Structure 1
Amino acid sequence: MGDSIRAAAQRLSAVSETPRLDAELLMAHALGVERDRLLLDPARFAVPAAFDAFVARRMAHEPVAYIVGYRDFWTIRLGVGPGALIPRPDSETLIEAAVDHFGQQTPKRVLDLGTGPGTLLLAALAEWPEASGVGVDASAQALAYARGNAEALGFDARAEMRQGDWAAGIDERFDLILCNPPYIGEAEPLMPDVRAHEPASALFAGTDGLDDYRRVVPDLPRLLATGGAAVLEIGATQHISVRRLAEDAGFAVACRKDLGGRDRALILTIA
């Protein structure tokens, strides 16, 4: 077992920045067990026939999350697959910022614009059991995952998923607004597993990556409740550009860095 994982990790180092982790996740998936069980007692398992096929798919740059069918995020597990943006650890920065903003208070109503497979909304509902909210996405494929994830987590009574064009048609005010819009410029380089497999509509936003911020940010003042916060994910070089849009819309702006020390989340409050 250990030799098979090491050999797979060596192969995967050609296509992945985390080859050992990839190999362990794929082996655990092939075995139908959690990775921690595999690591605790690898000698009890025989290498399943499916493992080589999973490694071959990863060698072809298919994301591990699509192969295993899920990605862990914050305190929850989210089902994902083709058509849904894979949750990134850096996006947890938005939930951390929201937790700090509200302290001991609960944001009763949460709006997640561009929810994908329900990532930020469902993480927020896991954090605040008394909260409810709305997730909006233009993609019917992504929303199918979002609804399935809400049901699997037992949040379907608290989470409404709507297909829509950002906040168009929404006239409610929310205590917490979360948004991870597309923010990659069309000519920017991307890893092959991202560019070839994840939905372009969830990645790219015009030549400078700011097209969707220009649409979303000016619409936020009418949606944000008194004392609330809107938390937006940004690319590492977009702090100043998105801050200017937010300040022009009347917001006070703070920035939170991710674990890598990069600017990652802007926290917008009414100035």
Structure 2
Amino acid sequence: MYSRWPLHLMFLPGAILLLVYHYVPTFGFIIAFQKFIPAKGILRSEWIGWDNFLYLLQLPNFRQVLWNTIFISFMKVVAGQIFPIIIALLLNEMRVKFIKRSVQTLIYLPHFLSWVILGGILIDILSPTKGIVNQILVFFGMEPIFFLGSPGLFPYVLVGTDLWKDFGFSTIVYLAALTAINPSLYEAAVMDGASRWKQTWHITLPGMAPVIILLATLSMGQILNAGFEQVFNLYSPAVYETGDIIDTLVYRMGLVQAQYGLATAVGLFKSIVSLLLISVSYFLAYRFANYRIF
């Protein structure tokens, strides 16, 4: 503790932010068990026990919203794991450093843009009348597609655009993991006559396994977080059937309809399920891959 006090001081600001914005607000979960009235506050609002949760389970659209959240999040997790690994492996094989670094920069840039900006860009690009994507389809004799207004296509548009925005970050992480692999392993494999594919399968992927397991374990905790900012900026009532998620439901109930207790109950339900999922994923990672965070 005393010999490494500079490191603890560097950790302190992050710990304070975590405490203030993540742990202190958990006191507000009491609202989930109350008929909360802002004028009375948390301590004086009427206690109603599990009524908010029972009402939540009886909502006609809650099961559909829960399914939408799980389906969209699961596709994002799978695509967000597989695609960056493939791109990282391809970039690792690239020998022209200028092209390699240029590609890294280009795929990483969207990560820094907010969904408010990207939402406006995507609405213009995917517009059924003026969007460049539909103009290309019309040029080849196809009918224009209303990507953001079609319930069947909207979840896949969310997954594709989320992948485009964030896969560059994961790719950089996997490229960093590749630098930790001992080059002598590849030299020994070449001496044994191993092809590039066998080197990738028996050396590269096992060397990346700890980072892959770490990101997969952390992503399981986000399985009920389908991306509020993205969905809020792209969805409309026309796609509520397949695009409405738990976070947008909480927004409409809590801020638009002022049902604070019910919205808090939804948020608490989401937090508990996420905790269980990340705990199970960590146990499986430890059980089958001997992975530990500490």
> Fold match, TM over 0.5?
no
Name the structure, 1 or 2, with higher relative contact order (CA <8 Å, separation 6+).
2
Specify the TM-score bucket, using the shorter chain as the normaliser: under 0.3
Structure with larger Rg: 2
Q: Counting helix residues as a fraction of each chain, which structure ranks higher?
A: 2
Taking structure 1 as the reference length, the TM-score comes to: 0.23
Where is the strand percentage greater, Structure 1 or Structure 2?
Answer: 1
TM-score by length of 2: 0.22
